[in-house]
Structure 1
């Protein structure tokens, strides 16, 4: 008798059938439609609407599905579903579960303008189907759901968040997409790498007779199971291979999550998937105390939120509004560490975008400068009157003031005549003869000022040596310093000043007007130098740069509050001062500065800060309250009570 026959004798049909049922027919989640709750409800004070409907998958099976949509978003006070697009997350439940599992995603995403779609996989929950397939056939269910979203909803972008079988299905679905264009991001929580790797853990959870060796089950037994599954459910367990699909996901960012105490799918599965995943934008979170189905800690859910916002939002404005709304809620909830993490992500992104925009502006101005230096003679004199009658538009000129062929010829002739006159003048009188504005040898007076300077550059006038150029630039720099200092003196007489402290840290960003319409008290040295050199005195910042600086101010003061609340007043003070550097009229900045100074027991500094802030806005209640409390402050316990003051966000 061969080994196969011996194995068949030990592996009874009951054992094999039990293994097959465990794989393709686990206990089914049972619930009734009313367990979904009311169709309209509030999350964090924002109304949400749920719509239940049915989908038909390619195998003709009916799927039960739900879509959750917010009535408003951080950008829209009242959303028009027929016109306003939403980003969506499609939530995929695990093995033996159902769409009720999406509750965590709904509560986390809906208040901030992200729609959520969930459904029961075929063979799960209230959907039709006799068997599950560990993700092989479920991929088509996902395609059906996303196709419905794209054809029936105003959809911006779609991400997938899956748990266990849902996570494995998400990876396999993403891997089968040509160009990975359907989804913008994946969250894969407790995914398995392949059926073969899963089988080892799965067998340990089953009640197998002691007479049946595990090695036998993983060898001959596994082949018998695969054959039976193919016959009964119509798919191959060899196709349950998220690991192979992960290699094909080359441009979809992913966040892997796995608990180290997971006894259903070992966390090494996620480590393998992470290593093989084709996109460079990937991250793995291993949770020390989490099991397979345990609720993920709040900070992990925050990581999920920030990861999804990076991919779901389109542009800075939407990203900023969604993230800031979440950060404000974290402050209200007293979750200051999470708020610091979120606001730091926002600030870093704003700083990076500012530097990118600054580089663009630098290149643009450098290109404009090169163009001016290389401009032809005729263009240099295009805007100056050289003593000739004005061109009559009716005589061939452009009626809008633009150059005509005849006008250009006349200007070029005038330039040549002037060149000859200056050459004659230099030849007969020398550089010392005559004075500016005085007729020489019967010639017309030499133009002065800017026109004279341009003529000298064009027609071979005096050219500065390298040494003269260096002296010139040094003088411009010194004049810039003087002009900057003069501005500072004028500003101190007209605006409240921010006291300089060692904690004041800037970013190199030029000051700009804040979102309350006031100008910064100081001006950058670069702007002053540009003014002295003859450039326009207006700021060279683009509107995009000013928008980013304006957005930074409340982010910094909110993070300042979180730092102060977590006994890191030095960092809170630095953020408050940086906010005031950008906008000296931002009254909340004085409040945050004073709160940090009080925690550092710099009570006199705090009093002065409050007084300056009240000059900006005399009726600002939080500063008035701080002022009154300082008046009554005699002990350190008083300062402790002040740190417990109500939270106000910007």
Structure 2
């Protein structure tokens, strides 16, 4: 009798633990996919441009700022990371606009002041990337177009199919596969054993978003991009490890360049290494966008 009661208690404890794990995993999935709205405010007073709205095939109305540039200088689109907004791209926009480039900075779907029901870590955002490129192509006829994609922003560009017609792109700290991105975050928060929970999160992609992990593999798409690429990685990045950035770089076709930022984590690389960042990125765009 005592043994039977102990067995029942043990089974109950295991069931409760499993239920708790499932609840925590579901809450984590909710947090990761929930929209990240943010009040943006007015165009900065030193920006000579205008507010714009773009319709995307993601179903969202995208909001952003467009700054016209000098004829022949080229144009650059700034694509922010997950749970960020165009506000995070203002210093880059200021740099590029002062150099004569036309600049578009915008909020991805479910971010900032753009509409959208859920963050998809690059899937729907890839359609936003295409909408942004089409908009700038229409605003700057004859100009060469470049992109800076930070983390999810770079994934969105890489995932766009077919490969968008741009002349150059900078990929900052972009994950190769969503499985690796999830594993990295689980290790950071739960230690090495945390990766056992990954299936509980990837399974939610289909349940919540109607997509699979196979839809979120920039490493499988970047090889089809014919334009010149500059990959930037933080040497101490734990969200997208240096080895993962090397993996994405290896999958890309030529022409391509790779810059490792020593001491950098998953952070604003422009703010961390302003002078070197500006020299490298401006030099890259000077080479590929100027007429």
Normalised TM-score (structure 1): 0.40
Structure 2 unaligned blocks of 5 or more: 1-13
1:217 to 185, 194, 197: 197
Shift of 1:30: 2.2
Shift of 1:10: 5.9
CA contact (8 A) 1:135 1:166 kept: yes
CA contact (8 A) 2:107 2:114 kept: yes
CA distance in 1, matches of 2:117, 2:240: 24
CA distance in 2, matches of 1:282, 1:6: 52
What residue is the counterpart of 1:37 in the other structure? 44
Say whether residues 1:136 and 2:123 are aligned partners. Answer: yes
What residue is the counterpart of 1:301 in the other structure? 278
Describe the shift of the 1:313–1:231 C-alpha distance in structure 2 as closer, same or farther (beyond 3 A): same
CA contact (8 A) 1:7 1:216 kept: no
CA distance in 2, matches of 1:66, 1:155: 21
Shift of 1:215: 5.0
Shift of 1:137: 1.0
What residue is the counterpart of 1:13 in the other structure? 22
CA distance in 2, matches of 1:142, 1:227: 26
What residue is the counterpart of 2:228 in the other structure? 253
CA distance in 2, matches of 1:168, 1:7: 38
1:185 to 168, 171, 183: 168
Describe the shift of the 1:261–1:181 C-alpha distance in structure 2 as closer, same or farther (beyond 3 A): closer
Instruction: Please tell me whether Structure 1 or Structure 2 has the larger radius of gyration of its CA atoms.
Output: 1
What residue is the counterpart of 2:261 in the other structure? 287
Describe the shift of the 1:304–1:296 C-alpha distance in structure 2 as closer, same or farther (beyond 3 A): farther
Describe the shift of the 1:181–1:192 C-alpha distance in structure 2 as closer, same or farther (beyond 3 A): closer
CA distance in 1, matches of 2:64, 2:113: 9
CA contact (8 A) 2:40 2:87 kept: no
What residue is the counterpart of 2:203 in the other structure? 227
Describe the shift of the 1:21–1:267 C-alpha distance in structure 2 as closer, same or farther (beyond 3 A): farther
Normalised TM-score (structure 2): 0.86
Which structure 2 residues correspond to residues 512-551 of structure 1 after superposition, within 5 A? Answer: none
CA contact (8 A) 2:58 2:109 kept: no
CA contact (8 A) 2:154 2:174 kept: yes
CA contact (8 A) 1:67 1:117 kept: yes
Structure (1 or 2) with the greater strand fraction: 2
Shift of 1:154: 3.3
| Runs of 4+, deviation exceeding 6 Å | 5-8
SS in 1 for 2:39: coil
Shift of 1:64: 0.7
Shift of 1:101: 1.8
- Deviations along 1:110-168, one digit per CA (max 9) or x if unpaired, are 12221110110001111101211111111110111111222344341111101111122
CA distance in 2, matches of 1:33, 1:23: 25
What residue is the counterpart of 1:127 in the other structure? 114
Aligned length: 275
What residue is the counterpart of 2:91 in the other structure? 104
Describe the shift of the 1:155–1:131 C-alpha distance in structure 2 as closer, same or farther (beyond 3 A): farther
SS in 2 for 1:23: helix
Say whether residues 1:241 and 2:221 are aligned partners. Answer: no
CA distance in 1, matches of 2:39, 2:61: 17
Shift of 1:213: 4.8
What residue is the counterpart of 1:199 in the other structure? 182
